Structure 1
Amino acid sequence: MDEDLLTVADERSLTAVAGTLRAIADQLERGDRLRLEGTDRQVAVPLPDSVAFEVGLELEGVDESEEEDGDETDRGSESEDSGEAGDEETHFELEIELEWPVTDADAAEVVSTAKSGEQVESTVKTDRIDAECPHEVVAIASPPESLAEFRLFEDRAGEWRWHLRHQNGNIIADSGEGYTSKQSARNGIRSVVRNAPGASVLEERPE
């Protein structure tokens, strides 16, 4: 019998999706456990040395008879008509699937984070997740809207830089140096987005 330990489905920006996948990839690279947090629970499961890996990209909602005709113009107009009639829209679907065997029946650790009064499906529960590595738990529920944005620009010397600007106009952070290419500057932005949430604060006092 299948048991749904954690599911989150919403719509978000590509940047937010990339950040979530990147955080999950970091856990896969470290091994040990995969720790995820949804809207009402945290889940931790052990990771093996290797997994069955599958990636699939599908075009869904296409009528096979129309696909065989190969008439792109007619297909587009008919898709619009069918959409108005309430039929399923045509869309791309990217699926990434990892699968590995369970070696321990009690391997899944689940902690309820639901507020009082909310119903949560019963499953294996433990209080070990928060106590071990709370900073490693990946929040896959919809992230809050950012109050800042990165600005990527080319300076007078022809080098690329970035600013992190708050919505009030204040610059929160900057690249500190120029990059020879736009891609390198983008990589710098990605590094900040990736590493800043778990960064520690080092306070230095004058001697």
Structure 2
Amino acid sequence: MVEDTLFEFESDRSREEIAAYLRALAAEFDTDGPVTFRDGEYALAVTPPASAAFDVEVEREDGDGGSELEIELEIEWSENGTESSAERVESLDPDVGIQFTPESDDGEPSQGRFEVYRDRADEWRWRLVHRNGNIIADGGEGYSSKQSAIKGLRSVQHNAPGARIEDVE
């Protein structure tokens, strides 16, 4: 069997950044559409089937420099006879897909998190929640699909970092 690595990214990240990435991955995986991985240069869209083998493994490796701990999460399925696919995507909306944000110079972890949820009218919504539990912002509208709500919050993430404050009277 020949193994071909289609996407790989490795970087030292804080626990908060890793958790945010895993939440974004879970949100993409929770939709019926593709799961898109981005590394800034290109994107890979993978469409998983309805069910797959899920493996969680914690390993300790002892060596000359001491020991290392590793957590491996693996989701595996056969491409034979399924509607799954994996394809490199060249031109992709910058608000689609999951990727680590560029490493910041200030080293400050985010004080908030985005939440995606269904409201009482069975529409998808997003909100930005401070670590103290206060809602800082929300999308202001319901979306028909979870993927659309995620696209809306990604647009805010992408377009707002340098937003200026305007006094509107």
TM range (shorter): 0.5 to 0.7
Residue 45 (structure 1) shift: 1.3
Report SS of the residue matched to 2:75.
Answer: strand
- The amino acid of 1:6's aligned partner reads F
* Residue number in structure 2 paired with 1:100: 77
Q: How far, CA to CA, are the matches of 2:35 and 2:61 in structure 1? A: 30
Q: How far, CA to CA, are the matches of 2:75 and 2:84 in structure 1? A: 20
Q: How far, CA to CA, are the matches of 1:16 and 1:107 in structure 2? A: 28
* Residue number in structure 1 paired with 2:52: 51
Matching of residues 42-121 of structure 1 within 5 Å: 42-61=43-62, 87-103=64-80, 107-111=85-89
Contact 2:49 2:83 in 1 (8 A): no
Residue 197 (structure 1) shift: 3.8
CA deviations 1:145-193 (Å, max 9, x no partner) are: 17565669xxxxxxxxxxxxxxxxxxxx996xxxxxxxx725868x9xx
Matched, 1:144 2:100: no
User: Gaps (5+ residues) in structure 1?
Assistant: 63-86, 112-126, 153-172, 176-183
Q: How far, CA to CA, are the matches of 1:149 and 1:136 in structure 2? A: 23
TM-score, normalised to structure 1's length?
Answer: 0.49
Change (3 A) 1:174 1:105: closer
Report SS of the residue matched to 1:30.
Answer: coil
Percent identity over the alignment? 23
* Residue number in structure 2 paired with 1:17: 18
Q: Which has the larger radius of gyration?
A: 1
Greater RCO, 1 or 2 (C-alpha within 8 Å, sep 6+):
1
Q: How far, CA to CA, are the matches of 1:143 and 1:134 in structure 2? A: 14
Matched, 1:185 2:132: yes
- The amino acid of 1:102's aligned partner reads E
Q: How far, CA to CA, are the matches of 1:96 and 1:151 in structure 2? A: 26
* Residue number in structure 2 paired with 1:27: 28
Contact 2:55 2:73 in 1 (8 A): yes
- The amino acid of 2:85's aligned partner reads A
Residue 94 (structure 1) shift: 0.5
Would you tell me which structure has more helix in proportion to its own residues? 1
Matching of residues 150-189 of structure 1 within 5 Å: 185=132
CA deviations 1:57-88 (Å, max 9, x no partner) are: 122217xxxxxxxxxxxxxxxxxxxxxxxx24
Would you tell me which structure has more strand in proportion to its own residues? 2
Q: How far, CA to CA, are the matches of 2:84 and 2:28 in structure 1? A: 21
User: Gaps (5+ residues) in structure 2?
Assistant: 113-127, 139-149, 160-167
